[in-house]
Amino acid sequence: MKKILFNTILFLIPLFCFQVNVDASTQNREAYEKTGRVIWEVNTKEKLVALTFDDGPHPVLTPQILDILAKHDAKATFFVAGNKVVRFPDLLKREVNEGHEIANHTFHHLYGNIASAKLSSELDETDKIIKQFTDLKPALYRPVGGFYNDVIINTALKHDKTVVLWSWDQDSRDWTNPPANQISSYIKKGVKPGNIILFHDWYGSEYTQTSSTVKALDNILDYLDKNGYKSVTVSELLYHSTQLIPESSGISP
């Protein structure tokens, strides 16, 4: 009986989590996307993709990722947490110096249904610390965990942020630390022009020495190089796109 109850709970947990995200949003993806201020991917025929990394900078993993990106002459967008920037500002400076884009991912990595005043504080605090070390103010913001609703999006827009999520079939789920070959196979199988690909450069602890992301990244970039893809920042991807709404949505820009 206990085993049956436990299995039932395990089955219901993902359903419950999904329902929370849906109920909190008063509009569907197409409605948000039509504004051009919430981005999942772009519609382009050019072989361009945007690699994105959340939650860093990490004192060990981020330098490894930067080395691999440099090897492939690839650019990326780092959605940084302000409380990590405070601790590792030199890594933020390195990201900027090497031509990567910095974006806002809140200060304390807060997930869920955040009040507007609290999110405003988180965005402002993160912008301030990024500007302190780089003299740049991020134009992009990614809600933690991809959780969004009207309050979150409208608050971001009031702060002149474009909300950037990711292509639904290009979530590496690397934070679960699956085998590196599983990550690379999944990304390579589904990649197409205009994708925004989700990775993380921080999970585990600051003492983590290796990650599946680092192990998979070189292989993924080898594949992209050999197949004529160029890895660019999210802002560059948007610049090269003449239409932000995917063809499948049936919505004209």
- Catalytic center residues: 54, 200
The one-character DSSP state at 176 is G
Token pair for 209 = 């020495």
Task: Give the CA diameter of the chain.
Answer: 60
Q: 141 pairs with which residues across the strands?
A: 104, 163
DSSP strand pairing (48-54 vs 196-200): parallel
The one-character DSSP state at 171 is B
Token pair for 182 = 């599983």
Give the torsion sign (CA, 227, 65, 238, 28): positive
In this structure, what are the phi and psi dihedrals at residue 39, rounded to the nearest 5 degrees? -120, 125
The one-character DSSP state at 249 is G
CA–CA dist 163, 179 (Å, integer): 30
The one-character DSSP state at 161 is P
**Alpha-carbon distances of 113 from 116, 126, 165, 237, rounded to whole Å:** 9, 19, 16, 29
Q: What is the DSSP string of 4-55?
A: HHHHHHHHHHHHHHHHHHHHH-SS-HHHHHHTTSEES--B-SS-EEEEEEES
